[in-house]
Amino acid sequence: MLDSKPSLTYPTTRQGDHVDDYHGEKVADPYRWLEDPNSEETKAWIQAQNEITFAYLQQIPAREKLKQRLTKLWDFAKYSTPYKQGNRYFYYKNDGLQNQSVLYVLDDLEDQPEVLLDPNTLSEDGTVALSGVSISEDGNLMAYGISTSGSDWQEWKVRDVNTKQDLDDHLKWVKFSGASWTHDHKGFFYSRYNEPNENTKLEDSNYYQKLFYHRLGTPQSEDLLIYERSDQKEWGFGGSVTEDGKYLIISVWQGTDPKNLVFYKDLTLSDAPVIELISEFEAEYNFLDYQETKFWFQTDLNAPKGKVISLDIESGERTEIIPEIEETLQGINVLNHQFVAFYLKDAHTQIKILNLDGSFVREVELPGIGSAGGFRGKRQDTETFYAYTSFTTPTTIYRYDMVTGESRLYRQPEVDFNPENYETQQIFYQSKDGTQIPMFITHKKGLSLEGNNPTILYGYGGFSASLTPNFSISRIAWLEMGGVYAIPNLRGGGEYGEEWHQAGTKHNKQNVFDDFIAAAEWLIENQYTCSQKLAISGGSNGGLLVGACMTQRPDLFGAALPAVGVMDMLRFHKFTIGWAWCSDYGSPDNAEDFQAIYAYSPLHNLKPETAYPATLITTADHDDRVVPAHSFKFAAALQAAHLGDNPVLIRIETKAGHGAGKPTAKIIEELADGFAFLVRVFEMNSMF
């Protein structure tokens, strides 16, 4: 921990007298005023907090060295998997330190690639990002979405792939939507909200999404409304055209619950109605493709680990094609008239090729225990690409022959580190209720288990998201410093299917925190680290995880790094898309849910005169996913409650959002600051 030094003097944060009544329980909210990011008082508070935080960070000698090392590690060419549309290939590449990756196009894989769109030219500081791309069937037109300063709001434009010039089309107020072209190349389907209040668009709730068709060359005001539900303000719509162009498949979502509805519209018939095929939120249905009258779906209906069925749109008959197995089905693609099935086995990827009748063909041999993605293409394609990564393997691209099963190396990055110096193991530990939880632990080979290694324990545990092996430049920097990096697969995630997810939601949410705390205790008991050298880290729902665990067990951790966290669990549903999270958290408006939520809400479980771990909270002023007020209020309350010399700081990024599209320069600066904070707190200066 820190040497005995004078305590930091934090800005004085005014405490108001606001009190809310939740089902008969009075709850004070003294920092309610911090919810207004545009008030002069809030702006002054942000400036005062940042001044203290950056003054603290700037006096850490290791900070600049960390930034230099991260920059050097980051400086290598990064490629995405190529995919084909029409007679062209498309892929992304980042030369190394570019703030945004560049989209390239080429007619043949051996040709010299051409820049189709370079987002770095859209702003001087790299804060405008490419957030969505849809290529027309013939490969000649591209609809693309851009986001500014990390906001979820998108503007969509159209570019001619041949001339590399934009057309006049310009769509606004798009959010949580892609674009899907009709096969006549005359337009595309997309979803949008009504125009918001310009002054409060980063805070106001988002309801009543509508599905439109935009015809090229016409103003947005003339877009054709395809579907809306004025009686269902929470419903959202994703429109996707089938591979042959015949049907529009409409997936209807409500919040973050994976359960969805499926409607469809026959695009070959003029004025065809929208047909409600699956009209109850009974399970998740992911449309794959179809044959004659039979639609293929990946679903978890009566199969929490996933299966594939066919549904006859005329008779309603359902037939199982790929049954549920022990591994968790993550996704399905259709190539070479076969299914490519992505499975998770104890949180790492397995890929199986199956015939359209479900019979097994082969398993794709991967380079090791890691994660794989890709296998995009059309039903008739015999060649595709996939990416493989692990904790010590940078994302590597392979060409795959669907006929022979042969993988050939296509792109292998060169990173300034030796993977042979590190090792990853997967262990299983017991949570509070006896559940076995897997955890990946990565560190230098030959690590001394004497209970004194600086360790980062990272987690998420929610919304059915799976934490699988992946390569992280920042993690390599931490490992080089002698650090240990541990990632448990907590309940609430999707690693073991929908039952595992549900075991960490709503009234079961405490299981997630118990799993994380048990992971920390296992690392300490097995001599990897000690409380004084253990940091917990997580973002968004993972920020909630960190906030809940540091308030429940402040004695267990030496440092806490909650990023863009959901900290005020009584008001999360009042802002932007926060209402959608009630499917995972429950609703504070429900009396029973309120009691469960209130019991762990980080903001409401801080105790006065308590010594909390050294804490660096991070958020951003343009975060319209988890509004920064969560972090503002938590920081103010934590500083007021905290006892002792451990620093409690908040770092507020400007012109940035929840994380997506953040420029490389800002990412490196934020990581360097987080590591410098740990170097100071854990007294790791001997490593520099």
Active site residues: 540, 623, 658
Residue 213 forms beta bridges with which residues?
Answer: 189, 224
Quick one: tokens of 542?
């993972």
**Residues with Cβ within 8 Å of residue 95, at least 6 apart in sequence:** 77, 102
Task: Identify the three-state secondary structure at position 234.
Answer: coil
Give the strands of the sheet with 534-539, arranged side by side.
422-430, 436-444, 484-488, 455-458, 534-539, 559-563, 614-620, 648-653
The rounded distance, in Å, linking the Cα atoms of 360 and 347 is 22
The rounded distance, in Å, linking the Cα atoms of 547 and 538 is 9
DSSP letter (8 states) at residue 286: E
- CB 125: neighbour CB atoms within 10 A? 12
Could you give the angle at the alpha carbon of 123 between the alpha carbons of 121 and 127, nearest 5°?
120
Q: Where are the beta strands (DSSP E) in 360-419?
A: 360-363, 371-374, 383-390, 393-401, 407-411
Q: Where are the alpha helices (DSSP H) in 571-650?
A: 582-585, 591-598, 629-641
Beta pairing class for 88-94 and 78-79: antiparallel
CB 326 within 8 A of CB 344: no
Quick one: tokens of 254?
């409500």
**DSSP secondary structure string for all residues of 563-587:** ES----TTTGGGSTTGGGGHHHH--
Could you give the angle at the alpha carbon of 475 between the alpha carbons of 372 and 465, nearest 5°?
45
CB 73 within 8 A of CB 416: yes
Compute CA distances 213 → 191, 225, 227, 270, 497, whole Å: 9, 6, 10, 14, 35
**Residues with Cβ within 8 Å of residue 281, at least 6 apart in sequence:** 254, 257, 259, 260, 261
Task: Identify the three-state secondary structure at position 229.
Answer: coil
Per the document, the length of the chain is 688
Closest by CA to 453, choosing from 532, 562, 518, 517, is: 532
The rounded distance, in Å, linking the Cα atoms of 490 and 512 is 6
CB 90 within 8 A of CB 116: yes
**Residues with Cβ within 8 Å of residue 466, at least 6 apart in sequence:** 328, 330, 344, 347, 489, 493, 494, 495
b or e along 598-630 (b: 16 or more beta carbons within 10 Å of the residue's beta carbon)? bebbbbbbbeeeeebbbbbbbbbbbbbbbbbbb
Task: Identify the three-state secondary structure at position 474.
Answer: helix
Closest by CA to 512, choosing from 467, 560, 460, 581, is: 460
The rounded distance, in Å, linking the Cα atoms of 184 and 215 is 11
Residue 396 forms beta bridges with which residues?
Answer: 388
Closest by CA to 457, choosing from 538, 536, 565, is: 536
The rounded distance, in Å, linking the Cα atoms of 308 and 291 is 14
Residue type present at position 407: S
CB 308 within 8 A of CB 319: no
Task: Identify the three-state secondary structure at position 303.
Answer: coil
